[in-house]
Chain A
Amino acid sequence: MTLSPDIDIKATRLTKRVKLTEGSLTILNDLHLTIKRGESVAIVGASGSGKSTLLGILAGLDTASEGEVFLAGQPLHQLDEDARAGLRASHVGFVFQSFLLLPGLTALENITLPAELAGIRNAKDRGLELLAQVGLSERRDFYPTQLSGGEQQRVAIARAFITQPKILFADEPSANLDEKTGLLVEDLLFDLNQQQGTTLVLVTHKAELAERCQQQYLMHHGQLEQQLPSELQEQRHVG
């Protein structure tokens, strides 16, 4: 299958089933999705609808039961775990809901960790630059436990951009933060995303956050339904 160069992510006939003691549960069911380079896409949906499962498969963290996934031109469904790890190291950045910084590393070291894993030399300068961009230059040698939740997430955002990834996956990036801090973090995420021209795949249950993306999809019964901004506003009012 030939993929257009302007497409960063393409998923076709994606199905994910998991085995339970009671039987089999289908989380994703014949799902299709195409995301163009530089596009920002929000995936919304109720808790347990399969948003995070989809994000995991698109990012190569997990595999689908059926279907094909292309990421940065590479067929994820044909790659083994190590090859997928290599692809993530060079093309993908992550921001997680619970920050997931390594407690044994300082803020700066957490930021430069993906670069070191990708074998990029002299990542420290780039790390310091990003640290300044997220406003934490004075916290470079602080350990995660010495930082507030907002500060930890800002470090996580800087970490996501250190390898200048093509694609950024964010899973509920402000869900663990208070509203004010959450907004600051969201602004930072979108600012950096725009500066770097990164493709953004954002999973959230917050309609306001989803509205800031160019495309919005609703996860429902294992499939994606494209949403219009008006529909999201409606959801927000209802919510």
Chain B
Amino acid sequence: MWASIAWRLFWRELKRGELWVIAFALFLAVFSVVMLTGITESVRSALYQRSASFLAADLVLRSSRPFQPELMATADAVGLQQAQQMLFDSMLFSDSEMQLVTVKAVSSEFPLRGELVLRRSHQPGQGELASFSAGEIWLEPRLLSLLAVSPGDRLELGMASLQVAGVIEAEPDAPLNVFGGNPRVLMHLDDVAATEVVQPGSRIGYRYLFAGSTPQLAELRQQLDPQLSVHEQWQELDPETAIGAAIQRAESFLLLAGLLGIVLAASASAVAANRYRQRHAEAVAVIKALGATTTTARKIYCSHLLLVSVFSSVLAIIAGIVLVVFIQQGIQLWMDDYQPAFSSRPLWMGLLTAAICAGLFAARPVWQLAAVPAIAVLRQLPAWRFDVWHLATGALAVWLLMWLFSKEFMLSLILFAACVTFALVLMGLAALLVKVAKPMAAGQSSALKLALANLRRRLWQNSFQLLTFSMALFLTLLLYFLRVELLDQWQAQIPAGAPNQFLVNISAAERPGIEAFAAQHQLELDTFYPIVRGRLTATNEQQLRQRASKEEDTERVGVGRELNLTWTSELPANNSVLHGRWFSEQTLGEVSVESELAERLGILLGDQLEFSIGGRTVSATVSSIRLVDWNTLQPNFYMILSADLLADFPASYLSAFYLDAERAQVLNQLNREFPTVIVLNVDAIIQQVQDIIAQVTVALSSILLLVFAAAVLVLVAQVQATMEQREQELAILRTLGARYAFLRNAMLLEFAALGALAGILATVLAEAVLGVLQFRLFELPFQLHWNLWWIGPGFGVVVVTLLGWWQLRQLLAIQSSVLMRRAIYS
């Protein structure tokens, strides 16, 4: 019986628009979550796939032991593609020259991800593209001049003679650190045995490269982890590189967008549920007066909620998935090798959100709706009392959603606390406004007074409206400014005109020549940094191990490689002293340590460090800890020593300059004039970083647009919620003779005032949260956003006024007689 009534009422109410608000709110909630989760996953997957191209694989296992056939057999059994790689340093001999090089020997399958570009030519960009094969060796371009060879010549590596095939133009897993390492060569793995350079005790790096689906990779890790010894370790993307940081920041931002989308969705469903309760109270009283029990009424209206939840969720999930597929196709446009990954996470996250929004935000008002007494048909219902429990469960649900979605306890707690503080501040301000507006609104003789009176009345009765207006504006402003800030930060890391050519291995004698060359070609040379190679061996007389191991946790871990040590009395750009003081001209026996390295090695101010340099031991006292921005791709150093400690060691120098692509021939001239100076072109690396920044920018912009759309929809739902009350008031005012222009102006002023107030509140909160996020999430110093202070309130006034006008203009156009009729019979 009740089911038939419920079913008919459901479709009729859906048709009449009664359920659209709640349906739309739930749709919005689920759609936001599916879309944001889907997009976040797609973009993250795209970024990781792109990052995989920097590893030349999806997953890399590094080992210092020769290749283990059983490991490869395990990967085969899992169904993964695989390749192998050996890395070692060796001397390479031509007829007239020799050079220490880093040899990369790879199997035929290399690379599994990314692109290896080889040219049968003496320089990149020219000559035929080729693939590698046994018996050949491919060189980094600078090696051709260093070894005085051309393609076709032969080189000796150990006992093997290999033919120079050409140059390496692009190498997916080339090291991003441009300031260390030898020139690189590439050869086939099958030729390694013939070189006989691999002897017991040789320092060889073995790498297993794997590619496949995420579950396959996870299975491999699961199977291999128990078998791994201290000699093996998985290789992750280095977070210290510019690309690693860009991906991490992008993830943080996308995550934040997801959280904010959930807050909006929750607000929308709460608004819709309350409106639904208010609008259906009379109908419930009638049904009960006509003989329905509370249980029957509850079944009828709860089934509406269930049906509308299912209806909205299904539509939202379909719409969300279609959008995600569309976006994945978009990603494929700029990333040819992108493989869309379809995970079930957006689906179940959407369903979970639907269940939480319907169950914790909408269900309670609908449940309470059935408790409306039948006597309400004869006398006016008392005003709905503020439901503290609904608020508390809703708030708890918001936080739980934030936590579940972000998996970040502290971040969700901070955001939630900010939201609660915002709500409390808003309530206080609403109360203040009541006091201010009351005397101003006395005697409604002007549109402004009427607007203030309306604002005062509605603010007091439903300050939740102001809360959601402000929240929607706040979220939009927050996302917009975060996006601007992130892009600014990223762009600032590699500003236009930043040095893109690095000169390494400059001898003291060559410095004047290089300076003259730079002046002649109008090149702006960076500082000359002296470099001495040395190894950190002890802190406070305690010896450091050179590599980390699983067993010896108590022993201190060293850096693991030789460091480029420099000395200077000037603090380098992009460096700041965190603790201690920078050197003075008279400083003796001191060292300044980069902060992350200091933290990793447990180095504190005043510690005594020992370095082994050219067989001699040098001691230095830590006098400062420096914060270094590694993302700038500018010369940076872990250790800077005072001049007295290093000045006696033979040093080479490093400098840098910016060169337009059109003036590339200057490099040839430089090579000819200074054959021993190594020129490193970091354009390719900068291009890679800028490429990622551009892609992330597109992702950020689209998410900002979507969150703004969601915010607009919440505002629309809120204005809709006051429609009946406005219609009745309009009917009365029209009857009393109010003119169209008067009512229009009052309405516009009311929304403008509401928008301004919401805008100001949103601005204050956005500034506060930006500060917290800058500090906590992005590790940036606090900066006041001056633009926010005029954009926020201005944006509030314009958006809220336009939305209010857009929705209510039709109400103003209704004839007085129609309004009166509706007011009487409704």
Contacts and interface: CB of A to CB of B under 8 A. Distances in A.
B825 A82 contact: no
Contact of A102 (B283, B378, B824): B283
A53 to B, nearest CB: 8
Instruction: Output the residue of B16, B291, B822 with the most chain A CB within 10 A.
Output: B291
Contacts of A88: 289-291, 374
A154 to B, nearest CB: 14
Contacts of A102: 9, 283, 286-287
A101 B822 CA distance: 14
| Interface footprint category on B | 20 to 34
Contacts of A116: 1, 4-5
B600 interface: no
Contacts of A59: 289
B12 interface: yes
Nearest to B13: A104
B378 A118 contact: no
B295 interface: yes
A104 B9 contact: yes
Contacts of A94: 289-290, 377
B8 interface: yes
A52 B289 contact: no
Interface string A148-163: 0100100000010001
Interface in B376-402: 377-379
Contacts of B377: 61, 94, 96, 100
A152 B825 contact: yes
Interface in B246-287: 282-283, 285-287
Contacts of B283: 102-104
B218 to A, nearest CB: 52
Given A52-B379, A62-B375, A149-B824, A117 B12 contact: no
A176 B12 CA distance: 27
A149 B1 contact: no
A109 interface: yes
Interface of B is mostly: helix
A55 B375 CA distance: 10
Given A88-B289, A102-B286, A81 B294 contact: yes
Contact of A61 (B12, B289, B293): B289
A96 B375 CA distance: 12
Contacts of A159: 290
Contacts of A119: 1
A100 B293 CA distance: 18
A149 B823 CA distance: 12
Contacts of A152: 825
B288 interface: yes
A91 to B, nearest CB: 9
Interface in A64-117: 81-82, 85-86, 88-90, 92, 94, 96, 98-105, 109, 113-114, 116-117
Interface residues of A, number: 41
A149 B285 CA distance: 20
Contacts of B822: 145
B286 A117 contact: no
B12 A82 contact: no
B605 interface: no
B378 A61 contact: yes
Contact of A104 (B16, B288, B292, B295): B16
A98 to B, nearest CB: 8
Contacts of A55: 378
Given A105-B8, A117-B296, A149-B824, A56 B291 contact: no
A104 B290 CA distance: 16
A27 B142 CA distance: 103
Contact of A85 (B1, B374, B825): B374
Contact of B286 (A62, A90, A100, A118): A100
A103 B18 CA distance: 10
A18 to B, nearest CB: 10
Contact of B378 (A52, A89, A90): A52
Name which of A85, A94, A98, A144 has the most chain B CB atoms within 10 A of its CB.
A85
Contacts of A85: 288, 291-294, 374
B373 interface: yes
Nearest to A176: B824
A89 to B, nearest CB: 2
B290 A56 contact: no
A156 B295 CA distance: 24
A23 to B, nearest CB: 18
Contact of B291 (A62, A109, A114, A144): A114
B81 to A, nearest CB: 60
Contacts of A114: 290-291
A8 interface: no
A55 B288 CA distance: 16
Given A103-B18, A149-B824, 8 more contacts: A59-B289, A86-B291, A90-B291, A102-B287, A104-B18, A105-B9, A114-B290, A116-B5
Which 4 pairs of residues, A with B, have the shortest CB-CB distance? A89-B291, A104-B12, A62-B375, A82-B293
